Amino acid sequence: MSIQAELEHFQLDFNQALAEVMEQMLPGNIAPTLHEAMKYSVSNGGKRLRPFLIHLMAQSLELNMQDLLPAAVALECIHSYSLVHDDLPAMDDDDLRRGKPTCHIQFDEATAILAGDALQTFAFQLLAHADMDAQVKINWVQILSQASGYSGMCGGQSLDLAAENQAVGLTELETIHGLKTGALLKSAVSLACAAKPELALAHSKQFERFAELIGLAFQIQDDILDITSTTDQLGKPQGSDQKSNKSTYPGLLGLAGAEEKAQQVFQSALEQIQDLPYNTRSLMDFAQFIIKRQH
Per-residue pLDDT of the chain (295 residues; tens, 9 = 90+): 799 999 999 999 999 999 999 999 999 899 999 999 999 999 988 899 999 999 999 999 999 999 999 999 999 999 999 999 999 999 989 999 988 999 999 999 999 999 999 999 999 999 999 999 999 999 999 999 999 999 999 999 999 989 888 888 999 999 998 999 899 999 999 999 999 999 999 999 999 999 999 999 999 998 999 888 655 554 555 555 555 567 889 989 999 999 999 999 999 999 999 999 999 999 999 999 988 887 6
pTM: 0.92
pLDDT value at position 253? 92
The DSSP letter of residue 178 is: I
- The count of structural domains within the chain is 1
CA distance 169 to 111: 37
Domain that holds residue 25: 3-292
The pLDDT of residue 203 is 98
Find the helix packing angle between 3-25 and 32-42, rounded to 10°. Answer: 170
Q: Which residues contact 74 (CB under 8 A, 6 or more apart)?
A: 122, 123, 124, 126, 127, 140, 144
CA-closest candidate to residue 244, choices 160, 146, 126? 160
Sequence-distant (6+) residues with CB within 8 A of 67 are 131, 132, 195
Q: Give the C-alpha separation, 103 to 236, whole Å.
A: 13
Predicted confidence at residue 191, as pLDDT, reads 98
List CB contacts of 191: < 8 A, sequence separation 6 or more.
Answer: 54, 68, 71, 72, 75, 140, 143, 144
Under 8 Å between Cβ of 34 and 114: yes
Report the CATH number at residue 269: 1.10.600.10
State the pLDDT at residue 237: 56
Tell me how far apart the alpha carbons of residues 170 and 153 are, in angstroms, rounded to a whole number: 19
Q: What is the predicted pLDDT for the residue at 295?
A: 67
